[in-house]
Amino acid sequence: MKTNRLFLGLAVFLCFSIPVWLPVACSKPAPVNQLKGFVKNGKVGFQDQNNKVVIEPQFEGFRSRVDYMFEPYTPAMDKITGKDIQGLAITFPDGLGQVQVAGKWGYIDTSGKFVINPVYDKAQPFYRGKAIVQMGGHWQIIDKTGSLLKETDYEDIDLDNWSEGFTTFKKNNLFGYIDADFKEAVGPQFSEANPFFRNLGRVAIGTGDDKRYGYLGRDGKFTINPQFTDADDFSDNLVPAAVGTGDEKKYGYIGMDGKFVVPLQFVYASPFFEGLAGVATSRNAIGSWNHYGFIGKDGKFVIEPQFDDVVGFQNGLAAVRVHADSNGMGGEWGFIDKTGKYVIKPQFQAVSGFSDGLAAFTMDKDSYDDKSLWGFIDGEGKVVVKPKFGPLPVFSVEDGKIMVRLNGKYLYVDKTGKEIPDTVGP
């Protein structure tokens, strides 16, 4: 399903070598004696809470743990921001820090000495004295000495998308779930398995036109049986779901019991954001969706269909596209308020949503090409920073810092576009 959730996602580790930002939560703060990662001259080192260098910069990257990934969903998790995450990150969980050298991962103690040498292709921070690692294509569970506890026969384990105590694994080309104890919670039986979201796992059985989506509870049993040809994650206790295939495919919205609250009537429907959801009422010449508008939870249009594409509301504004050709290509993006009135007139080739008063934009038609350049606008559409940064499909501002890519490298800049030196992110 196409998602309008530009800034949301599920990931579990804060990682310097692959930066991410997302709103998640944790039930308790990180220990105050944890070291902080920093970067200097392209290498990562660690400081104490007084910014005294404890371990000199020498590593290519590091990964931190945020304990929310092992915990069941609670409503408090919806209120945590990216800034909160950085304060909750544990850099040396169980006393060991995960670092990268020459492309391989290993674990050091708080003096910087390797306890487990960097030999792993993939790895995750320790939890309860254990960690999942991959070496030579084999997935293993090790203890704090690096000794093998278990060798699995999994083809893959999704280390980057632990959520609410589960992540997915792949075996015999089918997916299942392992739990926070690294035990198999749900056996491999799904053609698709997604991260748990609000205590529900969205899964699919079958392939092609026979593929059907349903939802698992934490006990691994279906709370909503597989029956939909498309579905998303729940938002405000509603989720867009489809029945039928091809030109007969129609979307509506189901409740937590799996019954349709908003009847099947749209050619496409996206999740609710800030009480409104973007839906499409027709298709263009190549079969893609167009004529988007926004409905309320009663299924009635609040903003009539008139756009070629939309992105869900955030901070009271939604990005919309107009003037696309008959194939749904081209056009310009602008921003509307919840009455459908333009706040920023369509003029950009691509945009992000707003974060702390700024949005990213590009004037390049191939907006996500490696050569495209992005800049920032304010809430009135005024260019604050001219386009000069590399592909920027995800954009956020935290404490006045913006993560961008320039010349193939990730770095932080301030809200004027000036680089903030010696910062590691997120």
E strand spans, 297-408: 301-307, 309-310, 318-322, 332-336, 342-348, 350-355, 358-362, 374-377, 383-389, 397-398, 401-406
- 44 forms beta bridges with 39, 59
State how far the Cα of 282 lies from the Cα of 289, in Å rounded to an integer: 6
* Coil/strand/helix, residue 9: coil
Residue 54 domain-assigned (yes or no): yes
pLDDT of residue 227: 98
pLDDT of residue 370: 77
CA atoms within 13 A of residue 250's CA, in its CB half-sphere: 8
Work out the burial of residue 309: count CB atoms within 10 Å of its CB; fewer than 13 is exposed, 13-18 middle, 19 or more buried.
buried
Phi, psi of 373 (to 5 degrees): -120, 140
41-45, 353-357, 377-381, 387-391 — most confident range: 377-381
Of the listed ranges 1-15, 236-250, 312-326, the one predicted with least confidence: 1-15
Residue 285 domain-assigned (yes or no): no
Percent of the residues in the chain that have a pLDDT greater than 70, as a whole number: 86
Band of pLDDT at residue 42, cut at 50, 70 and 90: confident
Work out the burial of residue 130: count CB atoms within 10 Å of its CB; fewer than 13 is exposed, 13-18 middle, 19 or more buried.
middle
pLDDT of residue 7: 29
Band of pLDDT at residue 25, cut at 50, 70 and 90: very low
pLDDT of residue 373: 92
pLDDT of residue 403: 79
- 340-367 confidence digits (pLDDT tens): 999 999 999 999 888 888 999 999 988 7
Q: How far is CA 152 from CA 106, 139, 185, 229, in A?
A: 20, 6, 14, 32
What does the buried/exposed string (b/e) look like for 277-299 if buried means 16 or more CB atoms within 10 Å of the residue's CB?
bbbbbeebeeebbbbbbbbeeeb
State how far the Cα of 62 lies from the Cα of 90, in Å rounded to an integer: 11
Residue range 278-297: mean pLDDT, rounded: 83
- 411 forms beta bridges with 404
Residue 192 domain-assigned (yes or no): no
- 365-385 confidence digits (pLDDT tens): 887 777 889 999 999 999 999
Residue 162 domain-assigned (yes or no): no
Whether the per-residue pLDDT at 27 is higher than 60: the answer is: no
Residue 65 domain-assigned (yes or no): yes
The two tokens of residue 349 are 């080739």
pLDDT of residue 80: 67
Band of pLDDT at residue 400, cut at 50, 70 and 90: confident
Residue 233 domain-assigned (yes or no): no
Average of per-residue pLDDT values in the chain: 86
pLDDT of residue 296: 97
Considering only residues 114 and 235, tell me which one the structure prediction assigns the higher pLDDT. Answer: 114
Q: How far is CA 7 from CA 114, 151, 263, 299, 423, in A?
A: 36, 36, 28, 25, 22
- 9-23 confidence digits (pLDDT tens): 223 344 444 332 232
Q: Which of 139, 132, 69, 68 is nearest to 98 (CA)?
A: 132
State how far the Cα of 303 lies from the Cα of 345, in Å rounded to an integer: 16
Considering only residues 11 and 270, tell me which one the structure prediction assigns the higher pLDDT. Answer: 270
CB under 8 Å to 385, separation ≥6 — which residues?
Answer: 375, 376, 413, 415, 416, 417
Q: Which helix (H) or strand (E) holds 107?
A: strand 104-108
State how far the Cα of 15 lies from the Cα of 403, in Å rounded to an integer: 13
Residue 66 domain-assigned (yes or no): yes
Q: Which of 233, 236, 231, 256 is nearest to 296 (CA)?
A: 236
Whether the per-residue pLDDT at 26 is higher than 90: the answer is: no
Residue range 172-177: mean pLDDT, rounded: 98
What is the extent of the structural domain holding 127? 13-151
Q: Which helix (H) or strand (E) holds 242?
A: strand 239-243
Q: How far is CA 203 from CA 70, 140, 146, 163, in A?
A: 20, 25, 34, 14
Number of domains making up the chain: 1
CB under 8 Å to 127, separation ≥6 — which residues?
Answer: 65, 70, 93, 94, 180
To the nearest 5 percent, what fractions of the chain are helix, strand and coil?
5, 50, 45
pLDDT of residue 23: 29
Whether the per-residue pLDDT at 28 is higher than 50: the answer is: no
Single-letter code of the amino acid located at 61: G
Considering only residues 289 and 159, tell me which one the structure prediction assigns the higher pLDDT. Answer: 159
Residue 75 domain-assigned (yes or no): yes
Residue range 161-174: mean pLDDT, rounded: 96
CATH of the domain at 105: 2.40.128
Whether the per-residue pLDDT at 396 is higher than 80: the answer is: no
- 330-342 confidence digits (pLDDT tens): 899 999 999 999 9
pLDDT of residue 5: 33
β-pairing verdict for 239-243 and 250-254:
antiparallel
